[in-house]
Amino acid sequence: MRLFRLISTIVVVLLFENQLEAASDMDQLPVRGEWERTAVAPLSNREGASIAWNGSEIYVFGGTELLCNSGSLALCLAPSTPLFAKGAAAYNPSTNEWRPIANPPIGIIDSGVASVESDIFALVLNSYANRSLRLLRYQSKLDIWDEFNLPENTVSARIVAFGTDIVLYKSTDEDGPATDWLLDTLEGKWVKLPDDPLGPGFNRQYVVHEDTLYLFDHALVPSPGGEDGPSYLRAAKFQNKQWSELPTADSIGSAPTLISGDQLIAPELGCADGGQTNGFGRCIAYGAVFDTATDTWHELPNALDRGRKDISSSGGISTTGLVLYKTGYPALNAETNDWFIVPLIDGDFANDRRVWAVGNYGFVFGGASSGIDGTGKLLNDSWIWKP
């Protein structure tokens, strides 16, 4: 085991060094923080655990105890009840201590989460057979779960907290015009949001900044990025119960996810040129910055290897937030407009882990490891990154 770990570490280091050598701008980037293994959690091994933050603790719940590899894929997709992971717990990063919490009332294959004050909302997938989503709430002060009826039956949606409300929205208009909803969590009532002014879109994502909802998407056309491309990032804002359309970005990446003061930042490196068939005439950046004070777009600051296509990033950090996509790649420090490397977890590329940003921490629980013979196993270790 020690020999295998040594060989794996050497291979990982060589791969990472080669990657950095190919990207000269990254050669001198500092590594920020380190991943620390937490105390042992009172939880079973699992994949797909949901992670949430309520301002003081990190909550871990849901997931499955069936490893979906080539040998078990039929079982994973079968209409039978999945092998749900048992148990839920809260972790205090200040004391490095875990405590059990109440189990969710239903099994959770996967979920999207949002926090409203100390409560955790989870938009849950409970079954592979009946893929309709359900909305749960965990009241941390009472240690109880309850459920809200959804305003419509849906198999694909996302949630985001907006003050004490929850916004329920679809990520695409591909199946018809999407209806977005607002849940008053105090009254338990849903109301429809007015139609946004952008028209049909895909990769729709809401971002909350102070008292304003921002919507970002790409135009839904027959061939986005192809004959109808490039598909630039569009924007609109919902403020004082009214929509207004905003300028379109000179970028084609995802919605901004990092908030730093008045700036909404998409800390994505790299660009796309459309290829030889439908070339754009230039390599258009993925990342961009939207200034909410002036409603204007700006280039990503000090973007590494500007104009290079094959470059990845890990996210970014500001004085008030953190976004984290993966480990081992550059991330933006929005306080200084400099970049740094997010370290690998235990120096290991072999593990399939979902990385979460919770508060100002990066967090990982469980997942799957890859064995030397190609087989895997489920994990129940947890790691925290304190940048």
- Tens of pLDDT along 369-386? 876 555 678 899 999 999
pLDDT (0 to 100) of residue 78: 61
pLDDT (0 to 100) of residue 56: 95
Dist. CA 124–CA 113, nearest whole Å: 9
pTM of the model: 0.89
Tens-digit pLDDT profile for residues 268-279: 999 999 988 889
Overall average pLDDT of the 343-356 stretch: 76
> Which whole-number Å values give the CA distances from 36 to 93, 128, 257, 381, in the listed order?
11, 35, 25, 11
- Whether residue 17 has pLDDT greater than 50: no
Mean pLDDT of the chain: 88
Tens-digit pLDDT profile for residues 214-249: 999 999 999 988 888 899 999 999 999 999 999 999
Can the peptide bond before residue 230 be classed as cis, meaning omega within 30 degrees of 0?
yes
- Whether residue 132 has pLDDT greater than 90: no
Dist. CA 152–CA 386, nearest whole Å: 40
Residues 216 and 235 sit within 8 Å (Cβ to Cβ): yes
pLDDT (0 to 100) of residue 53: 97
Residues 31 and 343 sit within 8 Å (Cβ to Cβ): yes
Question: Which of 234, 206, 232, 212 has its CA nearest to residue 293?
Answer: 212
- Whether residue 347 has pLDDT greater than 90: no
Q: Residue 305 — pLDDT band, cuts 50, 70, 90? A: confident
Tens-digit pLDDT profile for residues 194-221: 999 999 999 999 999 999 999 999 999 9
User: Burial of 324 by CB count in 10 Å (0-12 exposed, 13-18 middle, 19+ buried)?
Assistant: buried
- Whether residue 137 has pLDDT greater than 50: yes
- Whether residue 16 has pLDDT greater than 50: no
Tokens of 372: 């030397």
Residues 16 and 30 sit within 8 Å (Cβ to Cβ): no
Tens-digit pLDDT profile for residues 313-339: 999 999 999 999 999 999 999 999 999
**Non-local CB neighbours of 301 within 8 Å, separated by 6+ positions:** 289, 332, 337
Question: Which of 312, 330, 347 has its CA nearest to residue 27?
Answer: 330
Domains annotated for the chain, with CATH where assigned, are 39-344 (2.120.10.80)
